[in-house]
Every structure is written in structure tokens, then in C-alpha cells.
Amino acid sequence: MMVARHLERCADCRAFHDGVVEVTNKIRTAPLERFERRVVLPRLHRGRLIAARDVAVRVGATAAGIAIVIGLGLGERGVLGPAQQRPRAAYLDSPSTEAKLIRELRDYRIAQTRSDVRPI
């Protein structure tokens, strides 16, 4: 309702809206195109052999994770000194940091999956 009211008053936004509606209608009413080539999606095999590169990445990630957990545990117990005296990176307090890391992991996995594409 707020958008409709704004469009009634704002000529620039109304022109943009009309253009978007026009393009959308043209796309929806256009005849379907046939692809010149077949579309081949990657096949995911649960039992595929793991490449040495994948093993190295997994081992390295596991080792880094263990080191982080141990470091955090020692820091919380005061073994590394009082927690107040150690500086903390500001980005760790950002609510978007976790979301960014999840997106990067997802993009990495998609890229790894696409590298397994083989034409039939």
C-alpha cells in the first residue's frame, strides 16, 4: 500500500515501475527458445574417491578448527592471561561475520561441485 501511494506521487519511480512491468510482460510473453547444446548438471556421487587435494584441505581445516577450539578454551580459563588485556578484533563482534563465512563456504562448495562436471 505504501509503494502504491508513493508511485502515485513520484513520477520517476512510476516511470521505473512501468518500465519494469513492460520488460517483465515482454519476457513472459516471448516464445520459448531452444538451447543449442544440452544442459549437463554435475552428478554427485556419495561413494566417489576423494582426491588427495580434498583430503589435504579437510585435514588442514580440521587442524585449524582444533587449534581454534583449544586456543579459545585456554583463553577463557585464563591460561593465556586475563581476557580483558587481550585486544579483540572488531569484526568478530559484527553480526554479519557468521553470515559472510557461511556464504563463502557455500560458494566454495558450489565451485568444488562445478569442477566435477563432465560432459556425457
Q: What is the mean pLDDT of each run of 10 residues along the chain (120 residues)?
A: 88 91 90 84 63 76 83 61 59 72 80 61
Does the predicted model carry a pTM greater than 0.95? Answer: no
* pLDDT value of residue 75: 61
Q: What is the pLDDT of residue 64?
A: 86
- Written as nine digits, the cell of 68 is 581454534
DSSP state of 91: G
CA atoms in the 13 A half-sphere facing the CB of 50: 9
How many CB atoms sit inside 10 A of residue 112's CB?
13
Say how far apart CA 13 and CA 7 lie, in whole Å.
6
pLDDT of residue 18: 92
Report the candidate in 40, 59, 52, 64 with the shortest Cα–Cα distance to residue 113.
Answer: 40
pLDDT attached to residue 45 = 61
Residue 15, pLDDT score: 92
